[in-house]
Structure formats: structure tokens, C-alpha cells
Amino acid sequence: MTDFVTGSTHSADALPVSAVDPLADLPGYLLRRAANSMMAELGTRLNAHELRISEATVLLLINDRTDLTSAEIGKLLEIQRANMVPLLARLETAGLIHRVPINRKSQAIVLTPHGRTRLDEVRAVTQKFEADLLERIPAQHRPHLVPALQALLG
Amino acid sequence: MTDFVTGSTHSADALPVSAVDPLADLPGYLLRRAANSMMAELGTRLNAHELRISEATVLLLINDRTDLTSAEIGKLLEIQRANMVPLLARLETAGLIHRVPINRKSQAIVLTPHGRTRLDEVRAVTQKFEADLLERIPAQHRPHLVPALQALLG
DNA sequence: TATTGTTATACTCTATAACTATA
DNA sequence: TATAGTTATAGAGTATAACAATA
């Protein structure tokens, strides 16, 4: 059998992970491995819609807002101002967003009609993904994940 | 005040994160953000010891084992065989590991005496880091984090 | 035939410094 | 003075294809 996440092929009756990998009980290490696995999975699903995770995240954040600037999106998503430039350029080239001048210095990033349609696809993908992710977690631990992760963010 | 993890400067009495960031309740999104924040923090701490996270992880895994090959380390840590090459080259150049031939095809990766000394430093850093990470999580959620993350790995 | 170690390459995310134009 | 948008660049992690040598 092949593991859904890791792709490893240990049999089900093998020793616990920690016996073969002494790091497998460390929360920080697990956090990185789990995030990498889950983001690889999400990336694959979004790739079918020709979007990167960062691009889909921007679409979800903008939604119907018409007041967000590039710098504000970056702050909310923890993306450097400089790194927003190529990201938004790709979304603009794909016809998913357009720029509405606020003044001569700032411009709002707004979804185009096509962008709104694509956002509906993104929402379907991410909702399915989030549901699948939660289903992998045993019920008794499930309600604790979001609060625990939020605590790590401050 | 500046947040330990995110570096953001929202005041303590601000609206809940989900009010300003509609993604803040999604477990997958939180998983990525939390992992990024924590790994940035760990990276900074290890940087003081001139080690990357991946390098420190390899040292922790090898420990006192003398039977691990590059390919096996890669499988355990989910690092591609090809990406192990520069990683081990850096550790070898730094005098932390050396290679012991197993046969004419394979070679074991083993810590040097200096590597063992540096591993002790790494262990101190990572144990402190893991403890700090857990302390950030409210007590009622704390015991659920590791099992939940392990479930995401398979 | 399958695996080990390796080279080469490329993509993504992330980070910093610096510049301009405007608030 | 501070901020918005941008350019350029670099570091780090990750991924694939391909090769020679050996199990």
C-alpha cells in the first residue's frame, strides 16, 4: 500500500513512525511535514485550474472587496510587497483581476467578472480540500487543530 | 507591540483575525501560515549556529547511527535523492559528517566527532524551540496537536 | 533489473535593498 | 516623512530527467 501523503510504502503493521524516524514526535517537525504534504496536495488540485496556491489565496481574500490595495493584500497574507508584483501581474494577464485607481499613488485590486467565476471554482476546490483535510484527523483531535494553529500565529 | 511570530503589529484588542482575513478559519491555510512562521523562527535560531533546518534535521536523524545511506536519509526525511547531494556536501565541507563505504555502490553517512559536538548544540536549540512552540498553544489544545499532525502524515 | 550517487536544470516561495512618485 | 508600487537579485526548498556504476 502506498501512503496518501508521504508516498512511502511502509506496511500497516510496521513499527510506529517514531521508531524509524526519531523526529516524528516533534511538533515543529511535524508541522513542517504536514504543511508540506497538505500544500503539495492542494497545489496539485489547484494546478488543474491553472492557479498557484498564492494566486488562489489572493482571489479568496479579495472576493467582492473593491478597496484592497496590493500592499494591503500583502500585509494580510504575509506576502512581501515586492513579491505581490509578479503575482498580481499573472492574475491580471489571466484576466482575473483589474486595477482601479484610488488616487495617483494607490490602486485597488478588484476581481473581473471572469475572476469572480474562477473564484467560484477555487472556492469549491478549497472547501473540498479543507473538508478532506479535517476528515483525516481523528474526531477527538479535530476541533483542537484550528485553535492550536491560530495560537501559533499570535 | 510586535508579534513574536508574524511580526505584525495589530494591537491586542483588534478584531478577531477572521474579521479582517476571511481565510483565518481554514485549517489548511492556517497550517501553511503557522508552519511558515515557526520555520522562519527555527531558521533564525539555527542560523546562529550556521546550520539550515534541513542540515540540522539530517544531523538529528543520523545521531549515532552508522548504517544510514544518503538515499535512506532522503526517504525518511522526504528529501529527493538529488537534493541530498548538495546538502551532504555542505555538511561534509563543514566537517560534520563523513562517508564510510558499505560496498562499492553505497556509503554510510556518519557523524564526525565535531559533528557529534555540533549535534549537541542542535539538540539544545531544537528542544528549546519545540518547548517554546508548545507553550504558545493553550493547554486544552496542546495534547491534540501532535496526534492531529501525525494523522495528516498518514 | 533495480538502486545508488550524481549532474543539470527549473520552478516556487521567500527575502532584501533600492528607486520613483505620491500621500 | 512615510507609503505605494516597482525592479532587481538572491537564498532556500522542491521537483524531474538522465546518466554511469554497481547490487
What digits encode the pLDDT tens for the residues A59-70?
999 999 999 999
Q: What's the Rg (C-alpha) of chain B?
A: 19
- Strand D contact residues in chain A (23-62), C-beta within 7 Å: 36, 40
Q: Residue A48: which residues within 8 A CB-CB, separation 6 or more?
A: none
pLDDT of A96 higher than 90? yes
For chain B, the maximum distance between any two Cα atoms, rounded to a whole number of angstroms, is 65
Chain B partners of A136 at a C-beta cutoff of 8 Å?
A: 151-152
Quick one: pLDDT band at residue A153, thresholds 50, 70, 90? confident
- Give the domains, in start order, of chain A with CATH numbers: 20-134 (1.10.10.10)
Helices B113-136 and B53-62: crossing angle in degrees, nearest 10, is 110
Cβ of A146 within 8 Å of Cβ of B25? The answer is yes
Question: If 0-12 CB within 10 Å is exposed, 13-18 middle and 19+ buried, where does residue A146 land?
Answer: middle
Return the pLDDT at A86.
97
- The label of the residue with cell 480540500 reads A129
Q: Is the CB of B54 under 7 A from strand D?
A: yes
**CA closest to C9 C1', residue:** B82
**CA closest to C23 C1', residue:** A105
- Cβ(A109)–Cβ(A64) under 8 Å? no
Q: pLDDT tens digits for A118-151?
A: 999 999 999 999 999 999 999 999 999 999 999 9
CA–CA separation, B116 and B23 (whole Å)? 43
Q: pLDDT tens digits for A6-38?
A: 333 333 334 455 667 788 889 999 999 999 999
Q: How far is the CA of B51 from the C1' of C10 (A)?
A: 25
The Cα of A120 is separated from the nearest Cα of chain B by a number of Å equal to 15
**Closest by CA position to B83, among listed B71, B96, B93, B95:** B71
Return the pLDDT at A18.
62
pLDDT of B94 higher than 80? yes
pLDDT of B4 higher than 50? no
Average pLDDT, chain B: 88
pLDDT of B119 higher than 80? yes
CA–CA separation, A125 and B84 (whole Å)? 34
Overall average pLDDT of the B10-31 stretch: 68
CA–CA separation, B84 and B100 (whole Å)? 16
Return the pLDDT at A16.
54
Residue A83 in contact with partner chain B when CB distance is under 8 A: no
